[in-house]
């Protein structure tokens, strides 16, 4: 499965991405988690301690190093991955391991005024497209907030997309925009998650805006998410059983045969 997780800023993309990859790893899947957001925080959501996070070398910097050594230009970056086309190959060379999850961080925007993240997005698109997944392997990309990654078609090589929605008109507007643009780049297996649900009114508000069959699951709002973020723990740490079961259900639905 190649999955991209998208949504308005702050809707809960990294929280969902972290929960899913940690659960996949517990099930013995080989899982490559890709933080495709230049404002990267998937490592934090996975519970990697701050001083360990500093040791993660983003792909943008690894690629620059490779370019320096080999003279390969941006458009040839894909070659790097073609030499190591499966999850083990990519993970062994480029990823940081944590609780059975292989984490790749896109990086980019090292210096203010240094330019856009276009070259790195080309690199990411090549990785996602060229990566060969064996049965039970998974790639999960935590996308940048908003819609620009869809203009760049960074996620055009995935076979599924989840859009995370919080209860609010602005998040619903963003979701509609993402749906329209995702269709443009040929993504059709797109499912929705209603997140930060405080009660039936919240859930109804989101559900009324989209077709019933689009929903993959619902995640309640819990103070624990704020606390684990604050304490630098993984999103699954000290999560009440009922919320953990929401994530397990979502993963089961995701992995269910069509």
What contacts 136, CB < 8 A, 6 or more positions away?
A: 28, 29, 30
Max Cα-Cα span within the chain: 57
In order, the DSSP letters of 58-90 are -HHHHHHHHHHHH---GGGHHHHHHTS-BHHHH
- State which of residues 27, 75, 93, 183 lies at the interface with its own copies (CB under 8 A): 183
Distances (CA, A) of 246 to 134, 196, 241: 27, 12, 9
Check binding of 133 to its own copies (CB under 8 A). Answer: no
Task: Say if CB 58 and CB 107 are below 8 A apart.
Answer: yes
What are the phi and psi torsion angles at 4 (to 5°)? -110, 140
Identify which of residues 67 and 148 has a Cβ nearer to its own copies in the complex. 148
Q: CA–CA separation, 40 vs 223, rounded Å?
A: 23
Q: Which of 28, 71, 112, 257 lies at the binding interface for its own copies (CB under 8 A)? A: 112
Site map (CB under 8 A) of its own copies, residues 34-63, x = contact: ---xxx-x--xx------------------
The Cα–Cα gap between 192 and 207 comes to 10
Choices 24-32, 63-71, 89-97, 163-171 (CB under 8 A): range interacting with its own copies? 163-171
Tokens linked to 38: 């230049």
Q: Which residues of 203-237 are buried (b: 16+ CB within 10 A; e: fewer)?
A: bebbbebbeeeebbbbbbbbeebeebeeeebbbbe
Does residue 257 interact with its own copies by CB under 8 A?
A: no
Closer residue to its own copies (CB): 39 or 189: 39
Interacting span for its own copies (CB under 8 A) from 62-70, 88-96, 103-111, 240-248: 103-111
Q: Near its own copies by CB under 8 A, which window of 22-30, 65-73, 74-82, 179-187?
A: 179-187
Give the DSSP H/E element, type plus range, for residue 18.
helix 13-26
What is the smallest separation between the CB atom of 87 and its own copies, expressed in angstroms?
26
* Residue 153 interacting with its own copies (CB under 8 A): yes
Phi and psi at residue 209, to the nearest 5°:
-85, -15
Beta carbon nearer to its own copies, 208 or 242: 208
The least distance separating its own copies from the CB of residue 237, rounded to whole angstroms, comes to 13
Nearer to its own copies, 11 or 131 (CB): 11
Among 230, 241, 256, 258, binds its own copies (CB under 8 A): 230
* Interacting residue ranges for its own copies, rule: CB under 8 A: 8-11, 14, 37-39, 41, 44-45, 108-109, 111-118, 121, 144-148, 150-153, 156, 166-170, 173-174, 177, 180-185, 205, 226, 229-232
């Amino acid at each position: 499965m190649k999955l991209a997780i998208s949504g308005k800023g702050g809707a809960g993309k990294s929280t969902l991405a972290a929960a899913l990859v940690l659960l996949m790893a517990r099930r013995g899947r080989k899982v490559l988690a890709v933080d495709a957001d230049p404002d990267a925080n998937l490592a934090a959501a996975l519970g990697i301690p701050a001083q360990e996070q500093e040791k993660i070398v983003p792909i943008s910097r690894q690629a620059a190093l490779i370019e320096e050594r080999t003279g390969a230009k941006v458009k040839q970056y894909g070659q790097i991955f073609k030499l190591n086309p499966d999850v083990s190959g990519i993970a062994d060379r480029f990823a940081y391991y944590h609780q059975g999850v292989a984490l790749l961080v896109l990086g980019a925007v090292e210096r203010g005024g240094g330019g856009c993240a276009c070259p790195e997005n080309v690199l990411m698109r090549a990785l996602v497209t060229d990566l060969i997944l064996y049965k039970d392997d998974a790639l999960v990309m935590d996308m940048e907030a908003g819609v620009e990654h869809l203009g760049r078609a960074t996620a055009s090589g995935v076979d599924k997309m989840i859009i995370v929605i919080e209860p609010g008109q602005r998040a619903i507007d963003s979701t509609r925009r993402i749906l329209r643009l995702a269709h443009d780049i040929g993504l059709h297996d797109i499912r929705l998650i209603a997140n930060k649900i405080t009660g039936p009114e919240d859930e109804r508000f989101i559900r009324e805006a989209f077709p019933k069959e689009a929903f993959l699951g619902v995640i309640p709002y819990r103070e624990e998410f704020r606390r684990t973020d604050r304490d630098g723990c993984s999103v699954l740490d000290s999560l009440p059983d009922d919320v953990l079961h929401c994530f397990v259900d979502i993963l089961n639905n995701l992995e269910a045969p069509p």
